[in-house]
Structure 1
Amino acid sequence: MKSMVDLSHEFLKPVLHKQAICVDATLGQGKDTYFFLSQNVHKVYGFEIQRDVFESTKEQLDDQKTCFYNVGHEHMEEYIHEEVDAIIFNFGYFPHGDHGITTQSSSSVSAVRQALKLLKVKGRMALVMYPHESGQEEAKCMEEFLKTQTSIQVQKIQNLLVDHCPYLLLIEKRR
C-alpha cells in the first residue's frame, strides 16, 4: 500500500500545472517541495520553524521557484499575497530532529484557516495527521475545525486496522 504522503501527492497532482502556486507548510527536509518542483510548478512557498532544518533544506532546494521562510506556518498570510493551487501539511514533529518540537493545535488550526483563505476555488489541500501522543489533541481540534467549514469538501483516509497511525484529510475548496 502507498504511504499517506504518497496518497497526498496523488490527490494534489491534478491541480499542479506550469502556473501553479503551491505551499509546503511544514517544510522539513523538503520532500513535498521537491514533489511540487518535479511537477514543474511556477512557485513553492515553504515554512519551517526549526532554524537548522530550514537552513539545510533551503541549501539543498534553493531554486528560483522557491520562497522559503524560517517562521511557523501560522504566519503564512503575512508572506503569501496570491491565490494558491495546492497546499500540504505534515503535522507532528521532524522525524530526524528534536521530537519535543511539534506542531501545536492552536497554530495548526490558525494555519489551515489562513490556507483555506489563500486556496483557489477547486484548489486542493492535503493534511497528513500523525496522532501520536501529543498529536491526538491536534488531530481532534483540526477535525472539529474542518467540520465547521462550509466552503470545502473533506475526505478522511486512514488504515482501519491500526490505531494511532498517520491518516489523511483531503480538502477541495468548493467556493
Structure 2
Amino acid sequence: MIERPTAAAHRVVSEVVKAGDLVVDATAGNGHDTLFLAGLVGDSGKVLAFDVQQAAIAATRERVDAAGLSGRVEMRHESHGKLLERAGRGRASAVMFNLGYLPGADHAVITEVGETVKAVVQALFALRSEGVMTIVCYTGHPGGEEEAAAVVAGLKKIRDEGGVRFELEIGEAVKEKAPFLVVVRKL
C-alpha cells in the first residue's frame, strides 16, 4: 500500500523530534499536525503553530485543548512568513508545512506562493543541524501547481548555491493532481 504524504511526513518527523524540542507547524489548518507535534515534544517542548485564518486557529486550539496539550502549543494568528523571527535561528528540530487551503473553509483562501517560499527559506535557517522540514504540496486546486513548483525550484536553487547544506527528497504524486511530499534534512 502506498503511504499518504501526510502519513509519510509524520513518520519522517517522528524519527527526529524528541521531548523538549522546539518544532513549528507552519500551516496549522485544522490542527492535525499541531496535535501530532505536541505529542512528540512532551511537557518540556514547544510547538509554534501559524495560520492566517482565525477559523484555523480556533479549530487547532479546540483540537489541542481537547487532548489536554494546550500548554505545549503557542498559537500564532499570523503568516508563516514570521517563522524565523518567532522560532529563532538554528533552534527548531522540525518544521511542517501542509500547503493549500483549509479543509471545510473557503477554498479561495490558499497559501500564497511568495509568502510560502519566504517561509520555507526561513525554515531552513530556523532548523538546527539534523533537523527536518516536511512540505506536503497539493496541486489539485488553483495555484497549487505553481506553489509546489516555486517551493521545489527555490529549494533546489538554495541547495545548489551551497548557502545552507541540506538533503532534498522530492516525492512523486501517485496520480495527476495528487499531493506529494518534499522532505528537507538539514546537515
Length-normalised TM-score, structure 1: 0.93
Residues of 1 paired with 2:110 and 2:176: CA distance? 20
How much has 1:53 moved relative to structure 2?
2.1
User: Which of 74, 77, 80 is the aligned partner of 2:87?
Assistant: 80
Contact 2:169 2:183 in 1 (8 A): yes
Count of aligned pairs: 173
How much has 1:59 moved relative to structure 2?
3.4
Residues of 2 paired with 1:123 and 1:81: CA distance? 14
SS of the equivalent of 1:32 reads: helix
Letter in structure 1 aligned against 2:71 = Q
Counterparts of residues 47-86 of structure 1 (less than 5 Å):
47-62=50-65, 63-81=70-88, 83-86=91-94
User: What residue in structure 2 maps to residue 20 of structure 1?
Assistant: 21
Moved over 4 A (4+): none
Residues of 2 paired with 1:163 and 1:47: CA distance? 29
Alpha-carbon displacement from aligned partner over 1:67-88 (angstroms, at most 9, x marks no partner): 1100011112232236100110
Letter in structure 1 aligned against 2:169 = Q
Alpha-carbon displacement from aligned partner over 1:94-130 (angstroms, at most 9, x marks no partner): 1211000001110000000111110001100000000
Mark the runs of 5 or more structure 2 residues left unpaired by the alignment: 160-164
Q: CA RMSD in A?
A: 1.4
Mark the runs of 5 or more structure 1 residues left unpaired by the alignment: none
Letter in structure 2 aligned against 1:125 = M
Indicate whether 1:46 and 2:49 are aligned: yes
Residues of 1 paired with 2:113 and 2:97: CA distance? 13
Residues of 1 paired with 2:132 and 2:59: CA distance? 28
Alpha-carbon displacement from aligned partner over 1:131-158 (angstroms, at most 9, x marks no partner): 1231111111111101112311111112
SS of the equivalent of 2:147 reads: helix
Residues of 1 paired with 2:59 and 2:173: CA distance? 33
SS of the equivalent of 1:67 reads: strand
Residues of 1 paired with 2:145 and 2:60: CA distance? 28
Letter in structure 2 aligned against 1:37 = A
Letter in structure 1 aligned against 2:168 = V
User: What residue in structure 2 maps to residue 159 of structure 1?
Assistant: 173
Identity of aligned residues (%): 28
How much has 1:14 moved relative to structure 2?
1.4
Length-normalised TM-score, structure 2: 0.87
Deviates more, 1:81-90 or 1:23-32: 81-90
